[in-house]
Chains A and B, each alone.
Chain A
């Protein structure tokens, strides 16, 4: 089993729809969680950190479920510019960063 698992997609979603990604992690001692976005032929960029109480940034909502060991990212009112690969990242107790393989999102007009 991979340490961080994501559905590779692609998710094909019409513009304006809501889309949700899940990510599961295997190490219960993991301490920090992040969502990154990577556009085609570009480097990954931090989208948002994920806090225990859940957090929201505009159209984006991230949630953490420690008991079930999963992280979610919700995108509301999706835009064409949201098309990208979304990467889940988990930091373990020894500060090692574990990357998911990413979920590809395609927003259609």
Chain B
């Protein structure tokens, strides 16, 4: 199985600022994703992180608000820009294993915007 680390694990930020979350995978993966999950809610896919090119965003999410990078196969960043309290959530990095095609998750970044 793939082991995925994220940092920071949590942060409290002021509105109007930006936060970049880093995701590192310890093995070969094909696809990487960023999700958001509100407390008690299901996962919401933000975007698919594409290596060396622009991410593919889901409806309701745009690059200006959530810029994503994936400079290599095992590393990606998500930035939450110009934050508002509505952005308070858990942000989860996820990756699909090259070998098993199973999907794994990082521990999440718990973001609170005040």
Q: Which residues of A contact B (CB under 8 A)?
A: 32, 34, 42-46, 49, 87, 89, 91, 95, 97, 99-102
Contact = CB atoms under 8 A, between A and B. Distances in A.
Given A42-B108, A46-B102, A89-B103, 11 more contacts: A43-B105, A43-B106, A43-B107, A44-B92, A44-B105, A95-B96, A97-B96, A99-B43, A100-B42, A101-B42, A102-B42
A interface, by DSSP: helix, strand, loop or mixed?
strand
Interface of B: 1, 31, 33, 42-43, 45, 92, 96, 101-108
Contacts of B92: 43-44
A34 B42 contact: no
Contacts, number: 34
A100 B96 CA distance: 18
A6 to B, nearest CB: 9
Nearest to B44: A99
Contact of B101 (A32, A43, A45, A102): A32
Contacts of A91: 101
Name the 8 nearest CB pairs between A and B, nearest first.
A101-B42, A43-B105, A43-B108, A99-B43, A44-B105, A43-B107, A46-B102, A102-B42
